[in-house]
Amino acid sequence: MNPCRAEFLVEDYDLPATLASGQAFRWREQDGGWNGVIGGRWVRLRAEPGRIVAETAAPVSDWKWLRHYLQLEVNLAEIHGVFPRGDEALQTAARACAGLRLLRQEPWECLASFICSSSKQISQIQQIIALLARRFGEPVPVPAGQEPAWSFPGYARLAEVSQSALRECKLGFRAPYLCGTAQKLAAGQVDLARVAGLSLEEARAELLKLPGVGMKIADCVLLFGYGFAEAFPVDVWIMKALRRHYFPRRRVKPARLRRFIRGHFGPQAGYAQQYLFHYMRTKA
DNA sequence: TCCCAGGCTGCTT
DNA sequence: AAGCAGCATGGG
């Protein structure tokens, strides 16, 4: 098995911040690089000045899948350019998060990951996802000397797994959610491929049919898995940021908050959300 | 020991 | 529509 290597010229790409910002949960830092699995391929990424160096275990002839995952073609300046002008809090967060990008993940893995995420810290989500892959995924080739790695199990596989087996992967009360969602997908009651072609509202409604999926998790999948740029996941950190910057010492009702988000952040609300989230979590 | 974590569900008001 | 307990598990 010949390892394979490629270089991608990038401007304005903060790889560590991107891979560790709570969007994806399979990246591990090792010796100054990041090891992960994308779509059944082991990948190691390393940031160098002006470029990203990628190594795989298996030969690769077309790197389109990685360019897409990393969203290399996205122009961050254009995105920042449509943020609301007078919003100093957002501008500050965006400057502090320069080079942080939204990844484009496989929808099922993204969905399953965020079902596991509810009321968990990022480090614990990483542990859960690692346990699921090791136990139910398929081994993937890795270069000599590297830790073994597994693909993320498909929903058909998880649909035949017992809740107690999932609880052994530390899912806790989320076990029936992941189980139920996998079974519903396996039964064809929701089609993840079809979601990509729907409007934001229709797509969200479709995901909300799945057990364990509420507004927050649905918007995470819409943003990180499907690239709906206006999706705006609201978790406890974003709530803190919104209250601090936009509703100081006032109590905000959920309906009003949703209206504010829709009206204020604009067509790239998802990026705005990620910057506010990352800034609040790491720098504020 | 206590509080909290990239929440959702079902029940009450 | 809004508020809230309960749900596992582990970090700080």
List chain B nucleotides near protein: any atom < 7 Å from a Cβ: 4-9
pLDDT of residue A191: 98
Other Cβ atoms closer than 10 A to A107: 18
**Is A184 tagged catalytic?**
no
Tell me what percent of the residues of chain A surpass a pLDDT of 90. 96
**Chain centroid to CA A36: how far?**
13
Task: Report which residue is nearest nucleotide B6 when distances run from CA to C1'.
Answer: A235
Decide if A230 contacts A200 (C-beta within 8 A): yes
CA of A125 to C1' of B4 (A): 15
A5 touches strand C (CB under 7 A): no
pLDDT of residue A176: 98
Which position among A216, A240, A253, A283 bears the catalytic label? A216
Cα atoms found within 13 Å of the Cα of residue A39, Cβ hemisphere only: 14
pLDDT at A29 over 60: yes
Task: Report which residue is nearest nucleotide C8 when distances run from CA to C1'.
Answer: A172
CA of A218 to C1' of C2 (A): 21
pTM higher than 0.85 = yes
Q: Taking all residues of chain A, what is their mean pLDDT, rounded to a whole number?
A: 97
A267 touches strand C (CB under 7 A): no
pLDDT of residue A249: 82
Name A residues 129-148 whose Cβ lies under 7 Å from strand C.
none
Sign of CA dihedral A191, A193, A198, A200: positive
Tell me what percent of the residues of chain A surpass a pLDDT of 70. 99
pLDDT at A2 over 80: no
A254 touches strand C (CB under 7 A): yes
Measured between alpha carbons, how far is A211 from A242 in angstroms, rounded to an integer? 28
Helix (H) or strand (E) holding A95: helix A88-96
Other Cβ atoms closer than 10 A to A186: 15
pLDDT at A284 over 90: no
Q: Please list, residue by residue across A219-237, b when 16 or more beta carbons sit within 10 angstroms of its beta carbon and e when fewer do.
A: bbbbbbbbbbbbbbbbbeb
Do the bridges between strand A139-140 and strand A28-30 make them parallel or antiparallel, or are there none, so unpaired? unpaired
CA of A253 to C1' of C4 (A): 15
pLDDT tens-digit map of A71-106: 999 999 999 999 999 999 999 999 999 999 999 999
pLDDT at A141 over 60: yes
A256 touches strand C (CB under 7 A): yes
CA of A71 to C1' of B2 (A): 42
CA of A216 to C1' of C3 (A): 18
pLDDT of residue A20: 96
List chain C nucleotides near protein: any atom < 7 Å from a Cβ: 1-3, 7-12
pLDDT at A1 over 80: no
Task: Report which residue is nearest nucleotide B9 when distances run from CA to C1'.
Answer: A212
A251 touches strand C (CB under 7 A): yes
pLDDT of residue A181: 98
pLDDT of residue A251: 86
Domains of chain A: residue spans and CATH: 4-82 (3.30.310.40), 83-96+230-284 (1.10.1670), 107-224 (1.10.340.30)
Phi, psi of A139 (to 5 degrees): -60, 140
Over residues A29-33, the mean pLDDT reads: 96
